[in-house]
Structure 1
Amino acid sequence: MPPKPRLNVQSFPRPPLLERTSRHLQIKYNNQTIAETNSAYWVLETYHSPTYYLPPSALTTSLSKTKKSTYCEWKGWATYYSLKGENGNEDVRDRIWSYDSPTKGYESIKGYLSFYAGPWQCFVDGEEVVPQPGDFYGGWVTSELDGLIKGSKETRHL
């Protein structure tokens, strides 16, 4: 199999590019697959690792909306969710988000879900990802990425 092409985050566009991806995305929590798809979107933005948006049908567990909301200058207002534990208690809060009314140009991700790369394990084409530095951004870092990624010490001035 040929090697994957390198992706330089510094060459990603601004405003961010939204496009379909057929990459195999998988999220596991407590040794259980909680989401899996080959039909998602990714957002590529200058100095950021890709952020993936999975269709609600990829989820194998239930979520509950929380009161948290944040604003993205490109995509609009985000709604956050909690993941219920096996015993019905809230397990993980505000680590999953979606856009109920995304702005022009991002309508395709309406209702799609994005996951921070933790506390669960996230995989892209079988490779376990590392969270984008800083715990503010939801990007997934894989070994194919080159360049300075926002949130790292080297980008504090960006």
Structure 2
Amino acid sequence: MAAPEQVGAYPRPPALVESSQLVRVEALGQLLAKSRRSLRVLETFHPPTYYLPPEAVRQELLLPSSGASFCEWKGVARYFDVVVDAGGPAERRLRRAVWTYPEPTQAFAALAGWFAVYPALMDGCWLDGEPVQPQPGGFYGGWITSQVQGPFKGDPLHSELV
């Protein structure tokens, strides 16, 4: 096994890197996404965030959510709720658990329409079979595995990280 990547050495502005690792995401007892094709966003002091192509995501489980956010590097993000049994008496919902950049900046054009998830809100996320630990802090979507080494932004023990 290769030495873990040091997230402190990731670039700023972030890099966009293709990956063929097996990504699996489960939410509300359902397989939400599975693919060997993803894009990793690598940003200084952040564990990678994985973006999955639209065909790898069960979009019938996604409903558009209100609001948006702005990233100085990627542009405007739009959010989705993950919903099972939509409209029924047994409806279950994860609010704003998935996001996409419909029209990202030119540097991140490859992300257009691809989906990312907050691992902390999912039943589980796996990378090549290894369970993912969510990046600390409620706002971040990074995936912590044995392949990356911190310190990570969002960790209260490293609040000095910007």
After TM superposition, is the score higher than 0.5?
A: yes
2:135 maps to: 132
Aligned residues: 156
Alignment partners' CA distance in 2, 1:66 and 1:31 = 20
Matched residue SS, 1:150: coil
- 1:11 maps to 2:12: no
Alignment partners' CA distance in 1, 2:70 and 2:64 = 16
2:148 maps to: 145
Query: Relative to total residues, which structure has the larger helix share, 1 or 2?
Result: 2
Alignment partners' CA distance in 2, 1:103 and 1:54 = 18
TM-score if structure 1 supplies the norm length? 0.93
Alignment partners' CA distance in 1, 2:71 and 2:2 = 30
- Which structure 1 segments of 5+ residues have no match? none
CA RMSD in angstroms comes to 1.4
Answer with 82-91 or 34-43: which moved more. 82-91
> 1:24-53, CA deviations, whole angstroms, 9 ceiling, x for partnerless residues?
000012443210001110000000000000
1:84 CA drift (Å): 1.5
Identity value in percent? 37
1:112 maps to: 114
2:79 maps to: 80
Alignment partners' CA distance in 1, 2:145 and 2:2 = 11
Q: Which residue identity is paired with 1:71? A: F
1:57 maps to: 55
Q: Once superposed, which parts of structure 1, at least 4 consecutive aligned residues long, lie more than 6 Å away?
A: none
Alignment partners' CA distance in 1, 2:77 and 2:99 = 6
- Which structure 2 segments of 5+ residues have no match? none
TM-score if structure 2 supplies the norm length? 0.90
1:61 CA drift (Å): 4.6
